[in-house]
Structure 1
């Protein structure tokens, strides 16, 4: 880990602040694109949006939380807020480690945020081996440091810290790897994020740095028009400069003051995408978009049953932080595959986060987790990519927590816990039973496929186990379909992750005997 400079950096050579007070020209340009395109900035018009086929088929993307907060690497990625809030562990740690906040503030971590080992093509290759189909880096987090080239701020990675367009370089590498490039914006929360530093003697109060730390207003106050215009035009700049096909927003845009600006942004983005000839996705949380106008996102969570419209779960390989910190509480490969499978069975997409180090590397433990997911998908991806929900999402005794922020503990799946997906291809109709833990006795029992359940409305043409060359022995009776799985793959290294039974259906409804045995 790079040594953090112990004294505040010298900022005497800082370029002058960017004047963003007059936004009239930019706003007029936004209005022109909206007027010329198929979408207007009304919820009625935006309701015509349809999620693209590529996204429905992709199922799995990689999220990246990277930024200046990875330099202190303490507790989590909210260090820039908590270090200015008296009484927090971050506040006490900061004073003890770096000194008072008026002598060493958050800005003083920027020179140590070098990313000198950043290899975007190596990252993209890793994400491809993991089985991801799209990549969504954080363009700007709540701390206000832009990881991209912008004309609206001097506080950006192209001018200080890494001194390169790290977002642009990664998105270029992503496209070279034939993955879809996206971006996320957490700018909205910056309205209040540093406000703790306004309550005591800190560098947040220094007029020389107000364009970085500000607005630093009370979270109880609605953002004013100047901030809302700036939010809109910063986002438009990301859209136009980088052409992301996924645009992800954090929670605070649900504040009522954002509503007309959110509508404008969505109409602008969808119209620009139409000009590019590309299909795009906006991810949103809670109620910040009207239902059907974008793709609903649940943070670190799940939903109950199958949602008719595609949705997304954004979560992380770590339970303790999105960004790089020491001492992560990492999930296991089995945990992550379980999350992926549960989400996909409910008509969802998983966006899985990793947090790079300030030197620009992805931690070894996080690489191993991604490689583990990729190994499972290499064998079983047919049951994930391009699938659609089946009649039911799953079966089994284990209750899955529903809602946001429910991944603080691992879900203890058993061999009786199964999730279902389906597909139709040139060979016919298929249903996949993803058994979330491989049975110790080598026998899978799938109750939803029993002839007495009425869920399989056609006869079974064939049964196979993904990744297994030989056809298994199987038996269907009134209660269940029982399948002899054969040997575990890779000498058993994937035993804890689960196994997939593929059921190919007769081309038309046939009369089935109560008991059928095949071998």
Structure 2
């Protein structure tokens, strides 16, 4: 995308996808690594945690609150199991292994690479995607640039196994970036490349198309044995050759597409990755300084030193409000991040309840959707996105640009803190309330409609500082967003603020704008 940025990193185009292991390519790697060091040397961020702690979360990110994540790639062709199909189809005895043999034949005759020509994306319309996400109410969008399978969804000078040269033969990330800009959406990207170190390793355990000899530039390279415990020191350690390749790929995404938010999956936590991770962060932040942009990195499981990037909770939430900004990433489907023919979809009302809970606690929600291989979205995905967009159109003033109140909320339903808890149904009631503030208004958000039309907000009861009441302000009037526009009847005593809003129904959150005198 030369119209967006002049490249800092350059690599000779070898033309065959394999010469990257040759002597000329080794020189290219050395020159490109030196170019990264030059950017860091002249920038204000250095590759150490003390320097990176000077980074600040962008204001646009704190105000945005809601983004869209996109898992789309070669794994969308089999559309079976999950986006981990490329790994699991090589694990003997797995459902993916059996499905693959039955549907496509033995792995030695039809391997994962053979899905690439089937990934045609013949109905992919980036402008239509951007329009859909804008109508959904998202403010930023994070497409997967490269997943664990090693297939890049963008034009690359570092590998020919990419969507611009194979499969769709389109620069997917580039086309989406342009469309996002035209629709006023902030562009992001995610890289899951580091897990490719071991992701295809099971294919070496039997007669498949994954076998030695293998070298840098090969699609399946390096296909190392998968660790029994994927912790910070699991073996075999990623090599310098692999990690230099990871660093160059990550910096290439930055230089070519200028993402304002970059998301990494979990295995960057590994001890061997850490020096390269710090180098990447310094490079990214320094490049953003050169562009005059505010950017952030989203990470999981303490992969970064706290205060140097944005912490993310995968498929989960936090139980209390935090003084720092954070993000949840989750998916519309409970069982998979990509499209499969048997996805288990979450109702839009439940996703909106989670969004409200997260925003009240100083967080963002990054919601994933998985398109089909042809570039279209399933009816279930479209229904959920449309319902979210309709709600955000009415109630967005309580979300966008809002700040947490002194108390995030109240109510009987307890939130399980931590990752991978979004499958646990919360069963919110109308007594479960979350609070945000924006301008002159305090917003009380009931997690669902009350059957009798009566809402009680105990945090807003009468009281004074002497009796430790939470709210001492004067209320001018109260409206329900999306209502008739007429002020609501309300009373306030030493037990609660009680608001009457008959005729409001449904499972989605109900937002009350409380104007403070």
Deviations 1:249-282 (A, max 9, x none): 0000000111111111111001101111111010
- Contact kept, 8 Å, 2:197 with 2:223, in 1: the verdict is yes
Question: Match for residue 501 of structure 1?
Answer: 512
Moved more, 230-239 or 410-419: 410-419
* Partner-residue secondary structure (3-state), 2:102: helix
Question: Match for residue 510 of structure 1?
Answer: none
Question: Match for residue 189 of structure 1?
Answer: 195
Match of 1:248 among 247, 254, 263: 263
Partners of 1:457 and 1:18 lie apart in 2 by 71
* Partner-residue secondary structure (3-state), 2:203: helix
* Partner-residue secondary structure (3-state), 1:217: coil
Question: Match for residue 32 of structure 2?
Answer: 26
- Contact kept, 8 Å, 1:18 with 1:154, in 2: the verdict is no
Consecutive unaligned residues of structure 2, counting only runs of 5 or more, are 1-14, 228-234
Partners of 2:457 and 2:148 lie apart in 1 by 46
Moved more, 17-26 or 465-474: 17-26
- Contact kept, 8 Å, 1:472 with 1:486, in 2: the verdict is no
Question: Match for residue 282 of structure 1?
Answer: 297
Structure 1 position 458, deviation (Å): 1.8
The count of aligned residue pairs is 484
Deviations 1:393-417 (A, max 9, x none): 1111111221000011332111111
1:81-100 matches, within 5 Å, as: 81-100=87-106
1:214 aligned to 2:225? no
Question: Match for residue 152 of structure 1?
Answer: 158
Structure 1 position 18, deviation (Å): 4.1
Deviations 1:311-332 (A, max 9, x none): 0000000001000101111000
Partners of 2:437 and 2:177 lie apart in 1 by 32
Partners of 1:190 and 1:454 lie apart in 2 by 54
Structure 1 position 53, deviation (Å): 0.8
Partners of 2:73 and 2:380 lie apart in 1 by 19
Structure 1 residue ranges (4+ consecutive) displaced by more than 6 angstroms after TM superposition: none
Scaled by the length of structure 1, what TM-score is found?
Answer: 0.91
Question: Match for residue 60 of structure 2?
Answer: 54
Question: Match for residue 473 of structure 1?
Answer: 489
Question: Match for residue 248 of structure 2?
Answer: 233
1:305 aligned to 2:320? yes
Match of 2:107 among 81, 101, 109: 101
Partners of 2:45 and 2:212 lie apart in 1 by 43
Question: Match for residue 433 of structure 1?
Answer: 444
Consecutive unaligned residues of structure 1, counting only runs of 5 or more, are 1-13, 507-519
Moved more, 258-267 or 408-417: 408-417
1:483 aligned to 2:463? no
1:346 aligned to 2:346? no
Question: Match for residue 185 of structure 2?
Answer: 179
Scaled by the length of structure 2, what TM-score is found?
Answer: 0.92
Structure 1 position 206, deviation (Å): 5.7
Question: Match for residue 365 of structure 1?
Answer: 380
Could you say if the C-alpha distance between residues 18 and 125 of structure 1 is closer, same or farther in structure 2, counting changes exceeding 3 Å? farther
Match of 2:421 among 406, 410, 413: 406
1:129 aligned to 2:135? yes
- Contact kept, 8 Å, 1:305 with 1:392, in 2: the verdict is no
1:141 aligned to 2:147? yes
